[in-house]
Amino acid sequence: MSVTSRYKDAWEGFWNEAPDETGAVFWDAEPALTAGPHLALFEPHLADLALPMVDLGCGNGTQTRFLADRYDSVVGVDLSPAAVERARSQDPDGRARFEQLDATEEKAVQELHARLGDANVYVRGVLHQCEPADRRPLADAVATLVGTRGRALLVELAEAAKPVLMGLAQDPAGAPPKLRPVFAHGLTPGEVADAAVPALLGAAGLSVVARGELPLTTTEYRPDGTRIALPSKWWVVGRTG
């Protein structure tokens, strides 16, 4: 299967219209507040640090470039060609490799695994943006890329994030400027139940190695000047049998 054209068009429209400036996108926080803390959770559970690292749903590649400073082989993949083009343009030294990939397309994911071999996979906020029919194929894609030796870290908005987002969107003063394009393009963050993530991963043949909670930092601020951080949960998974 593949993602719906509406969903792909929504992301393509979002990335075509998103400003180029650093931190202009709601979730594009600096790596010191995102991928950095996530790696501190992930690396103790990696069975093989030498495996390629795949940033699944890389967007404009901010976190991918951070990962490429720490691993020898890093590939950022995204559904949106516009996102991939932007990621490449912001990586003139070619620290990472960027490719367009529909992660619900089984054959395309298998071809990527055939080229890379088993990989460690970083997934930040992708499942909670998926439409329901795409969630299991995405979990299967993670399992394919991990293979037998890799591990994956998934960081997803918790259920508790949805009322926070709705409160921000419905504020009488209007939604924060960086959140408005998310809703304007029909993207729906925070739609996955907490218990659904490990269930999806288990159905794909992956076991949870570690889990926890950590606020997901955004680039937006409240009127009082405090940074908006959303409740999130994380899971490290792999094949342990």
* pLDDT tens figures, 36-77: 999 999 999 999 999 999 999 999 999 999 999 999 999 999
Residues 179-193 pLDDT 10s? 889 888 878 766 788
Higher pLDDT, 182 or 81: 81
| Number of C-beta neighbours around residue 97 at 10 A | 17
pTM of this structure: 0.95
